[in-house]
Amino acid sequence: MTPPPSPRGTILTVTLNLALDVTYTADGVDWDGVNRVRAVHRRAGGKGVNVARVLARLGRDVLVTGLSGGATGLAAEADLAAAGLPAALTRIAGESRTTLAVRDLAPAGPRTAPYGEPGAPPPHGRVSASRTALFNEPGPVVSAGELAAFLDGFDTRLGSAAAVVVSGSLPPGVPAGFYAVLAARARDRGVPVIVDADGEALRNAPAGRPAIVKPNAEELARALAGAGSGSAAPAAPGWTVRGGRAAHDRRTVRDGYTAHDRQTMRDGHIAHDGQAVRDPHREEDAHQAALRGAEELRRAGAGAVVVSLGAGGLLAATAEGSWRAAMPYRVEGNPTGAGDALVAGLALGLVEGTPWPERLRLAAALGAAAVAVPVAGDVDPEVLRAVRPRIRVEPAAP
């Protein structure tokens, strides 16, 4: 059973792979030549940082935690301080990473609205055809001692936390089961946890019984595709997830979920040559495959699973039922912070006890509003106001 939301106010975000995010905006990228950059943005990043920025904008108390190293880490910390975001980051010996987003404003060709009237422009009038390429460094190597120091601080800060958001990639040296460890420790203190991860970290997360797991369709397909070994990755030397669930959970995740399901999920949500392609039959098959995958993660220990589908909206499998949130139109722009804004909406709904349909509507609207801004960790309030009431949330049958 998922623990009820805590009445305490701070939402703790965990960013183990802190970054200094650099965004270049150009009018047309020549990948074989020299390019002139129109605008440059540099600021602290990492998925947990982006979630905290959006939550702070929505008026919630937040605390950014994680690992910070070297001059890059200090630059990220200085940016957090300048932005007024409270942080308690554990210093490490390695150098924190830099990420690069290149936003190309040159038209990419016509797009088709995936929901509502085909090709209908949104009422706010801010559709563009820009494209964004991401370059993510792996991050610093983290020692067991540095992880232990972080964990000591994490345990202490749970006493004032309403919820925890654990998100992003794991830097080298962090065991694949570490997010499950964090989720289990928070749960033992009555603090609900949201996990947004990929690969092994996502595959192992349900063993910690988080309140919500939030993959996108591709991440879900990858996690289930890799669940065939029948053995869980170790959490960390000396740290375990209570209950001995992990190996059983890995088997449970793969049972009843086929290679056809994984391919169907991918096919339904990948655009061809950068263009939005709508095939209602393929979309429906992909949605059913995603719901089956979400239910597998629930059986493995997650309280609820919310699958983001990009412009296709959201699918959610919960103890109260399954829902689909369908977007009325496509919002073009920079998608790098959309998933983080979506997670912020889920966290807000979790701590406020918002019913699932309205929680999903807000989360989907925040994701769309994040696409309309040039950098991750922010939302366009005009887009948020315009799109939120038009999002359809309906029961979804698995």
Average pLDDT on 145-172 reads 97
Q: Give residue 280's pLDDT.
A: 59
- Kindly report the pTM of this predicted structure: 0.81
The pLDDT of residue 132 is: 83
pLDDT of res. 197: 97
- What is the C-alpha to C-alpha distance for residues 351 and 369, in angstroms, rounded to an integer? 21
* Tokens linked to 146: 């540095």
* pLDDT-based confidence at residue 145 (cuts at 50, 70, 90): very high
Question: What is the C-alpha separation between 131 and 149, in angstroms, rounded?
Answer: 40
SS3 280: helix
Dihedral over alpha carbons 258, 261, 266, 268 (to 10 degrees): 170
Residue ranges covered by each domain of the chain: 14-30+37-395
Quickly name the fold that domain 14-30+37-395 has: UDP-N-acetylmuramoyl-L-alanine:D-glutamate ligase (3.40.1190)
pLDDT confidence of residue 203: 95
Mean pLDDT, all residues of the chain: 83
> DSSP code of 313?
-
Q: Name which of 258-267, 292-301, 371-380 the model is least confident about.
A: 258-267
pLDDT of residue 286: 79
First to last CA, the chain: 21
The answer to whether 360 and 304 have CB atoms below 8 angstroms apart is no
**Contact assessment for residue 370 and residue 381, using Cβ atoms and an 8 Å cutoff:** no
Instruction: Average the pLDDT over 300-304 and give the result.
Output: 97
Summarize pLDDT for 309-352 with one digit per residue, the tens.
988 899 999 999 999 999 999 998 888 899 999 999 999 999 99
Q: Are 56 and 73 in contact (CB under 8 A)?
A: no
Tokens of 131: 């494209």
Burial of 145 (0-12, 13-18, 19+ CB in 10 A): exposed
Distance of CA 372 to CAs 67, 107, 122, 314, Å?
A: 29, 16, 12, 18
Pick the most confident of 177-186, 239-248, 266-275, 373-382.
177-186
Q: Is residue 283 left, alpha or beta, with left meaning phi > 0 and alpha meaning psi from -120 to 50?
A: alpha
Q: Which pLDDT value is given to residue 281?
A: 61
Q: Hey, which of 28-32, 133-137, 301-305 has the most confident mean pLDDT?
A: 301-305
Per the model's pLDDT, the better-predicted residue between 242 and 73 turns out to be 73
- 114-127 pLDDT per residue, tens: 333 334 445 444 44
Q: Give per-residue pLDDT as tens, 29-56.
A: 999 999 999 999 899 999 999 999 999 9
**Confidence at residue 4, expressed as pLDDT on a 0 to 100 scale:** 42
| Distance of alpha carbon 213 from alpha carbon 196, whole angstroms | 6
CA nearest 349: which of 162, 109, 93, 73?
162
Residue 307 predicted with pLDDT over 80: yes
CA atoms within 13 A on the CB side of 241: 29
User: Is residue 128 pLDDT above 70, yes or no?
Assistant: no
The residue among 162, 188, 186, 68 whose CA lies nearest residue 352 is 162
Give the model's pLDDT for residue 241: 52
